[in-house]
Chains A and B, each alone.
Chain A
Amino acid sequence: MSRDAGRLSLILLFMPFVLWIGLLIILPQLGIGYYSLREKVGFNQFEFGLKNYVDFIGEPVYRNTLLRTAWMSILVTILALIAGFPVAYYIAKIAKERSRAALFLMCLIPLWVSDLVRAYGWIVLLRETGVISTALVKMGIIGQPVEMLYNDITVVMGLVYTVILFMIVPLVSTLQGMDDALLEAGYNLGGSRLTVFRRIIVPYAMPGIVSGCIITFMLTAGSYLTPILLGGKNSSWFTEQIYNQFITRYNWESGSAFGVSLLVFTSFVVWAGLRLTGQSLATTVAKD
């Protein structure tokens, strides 16, 4: 193939990706960034300035909602890691070749149902007149129906359930690359189960752990349906504030500033997380 033809096919192959990134990610982000820097001074009159950000920082409700969203997201990420690691390890290392695909499929099946329907599934189970409450009353374990929705535990549980697959997939793929002989060498040289886990399995799986954590954290912090439906008015999820600014108050400038703040803050959390655990993107996610 000639050089030009090679270049053409490269351009054609990359075009969908470039269009997607450019039109649907970069362009809207630039637009949002642009909007966030506009100050409304009168009807259809705008000036450039940081007033929207100053307002955001000056209002404790917004600030605290963002911090709360970040903390809950970190909690969800940690729980997803703790719950997802054994599952991933079982699929990648213990399960037989044949059952591996079936197990993986079982993890994927929930994704065939939309987020919304899954959230309503939780509602059907957990509400005051729901399946669990009614069953417990019938068995005489509790005296009267209890409301299990609209609290933080439910929100965290629902979010872990929603995002755990995105933790499991990268973990399975890194763990599958691990030679069993490494584990055997770990035992052979005198390591206990704990030592082998701590000094061999975890360091080996670190690329998967880091990418899984980043994906789950970002997905959680940016999720909307699950916290709103399961947490109701109490959820105080930051995406809800963005929604309110855009839709309820029709204040696009302020909403854009919130959106940019969320992106910057979550990116900062990821950066801080990498620094605190002594990892870098180059040695983990980008590792071949």
Chain B
Amino acid sequence: MYDLSCASVTKSFGSFTAVRDVSLDIPSGSFFSILGPSGCGKTTLMRMIAGFETPTSGDIAIKGQSVVTLPPNKRNVKMVFQHLALFPMMTVGENIAYGLRCRKEPKSEIAPKVARVLDRVGLPGSQDKRIDQLSGGQKQRIAIARCMVLEPDVLLLDEPLGALDLKLREHMKIELKQLQHQFETTFLYITHDQSEALVMSDNVAVMNAGRFEQIGPPKALYDAPASGFVAGFVGDSNVLPGRLAEVKGDEARVEVEGGGTVIGRVADASKPGDAVEVFLRPEALRIGAGGEGTSLSGTVESFLFNGASSRILVRSGAHLIEVADPEQSGAAAQGGAVSVAWTAEKARIFARRPS
């Protein structure tokens, strides 16, 4: 059974449709992310699940029970807010006990439960601290503890890492994943940061303009994107706009704008004559000679050093191409003429995205 299912959920505000016919099923105990740019409707979807908005049509079910008519305080779905929304006038202990007290649990049970959940998030004995005494990461953990102490069916997380600095964000990504394992609760995480979604999730739904473009495990989204939007949004890509010239079996030939042809695989329903884009992952490219259609020649514009994700920027005509250079091998010199090559199945062709 699914912990959370949405069936054809649509939400309109006046003439604007924020969420359009979205369906998803989240199996028990999994980490599910909704990934999309800001304004794609992911927050609206989450607010509908939490009960702060009512769907215009469609159904939302938690553990098989429709919750559309339930008010937010009657749903066993807890939410970690974007800015955490810890109650500043309460201590850490009172923040965590708030939900238990709302449930009218006996006082004698509240204190041990609070102590236990603080233990589990790694902040034992901080009941009497004030919220403003906590660091960003600690606040995060308290916000999660405040929800988890209520043993929710689903925990919603609304970009909770957005306010943290980069180093802490990297750390919290791993910690969140571990917490999810530890509590064995279903997490629904929404974010616009593809690396958060890829690192933590069992499944990711990529959302754009109110609809789901693709749902799948992170690896599938990365390796086999279903649309140009997914290919461009998940991971880095070099994009070469052009026109699909001909399709022969597996291989398709694209006449790239600004000259040259590229051979790749058509990954959607594009037909010859259509405006298309060719997506090339930087790590699918290498410096070296290649055959006709699977290589471009250019000059090395600059080196972008970033440890294991270092890149070489190659200018080829009007296009600037990023080539992964994990070993900083020094295979090319700045300003030197190089050839960039790939294998035809790594070049994905999708219909041109509306700009």
Residues of A with Cβ closer than 8 Å to B? 179, 181-182, 184-192, 195, 199-200, 203-204, 206
Contacts and interface: CB of A to CB of B under 8 A. Distances in A.
Interface stretch (B96-104, B109-117, B211-219): B96-104
Given A189-B147, A190-B73, A191-B73, A184 B85 contact: yes
Interface residues of B, number: 25
Interface string B76-87: 011101110111
5 contacts: A184-B85, A187-B51, A187-B73, A191-B99, A203-B87
Best-surrounded residue of B51, B99, B103, B147 (most CB of chain A within 10 A): B99
B177 to A, nearest CB: 23
A182 B82 CA distance: 11
B50 interface: yes
Contacts of A204: 88-89
A199 B71 CA distance: 19
A285 to B, nearest CB: 15
Interface of B: 50-52, 71-73, 77-79, 81-83, 85-90, 98-99, 102-103, 146-147, 150
Contacts of B147: 189
A190 B99 contact: yes
A185 B89 contact: no
Nearest to A195: B102
A187 B81 CA distance: 12
Contacts of B50: 184, 188
B73 A188 contact: yes
The list of the 7 closest CB pairs from A to B, nearest first, reads A189-B99, A181-B85, A190-B102, A185-B85, A203-B89, A187-B72, A181-B81
B102 A191 contact: yes
A200 B147 CA distance: 17
Contact of B78 (A186, A189, A203): A189
B102 A189 contact: yes
Nearest to A283: B89
B85 A182 contact: yes
Contact of B87 (A185, A187, A190): A185
Given A186-B87, A192-B73, A204-B89, 7 more contacts: A179-B83, A179-B85, A184-B72, A185-B86, A188-B72, A190-B102, A203-B89
Contact of B98 (A179, A181, A191, A206): A191
A203 B81 CA distance: 20
Contacts of A195: 102
B158 to A, nearest CB: 9
Given A192-B73, A204-B89, A206-B89, A185 B81 contact: yes
A190 B71 CA distance: 10
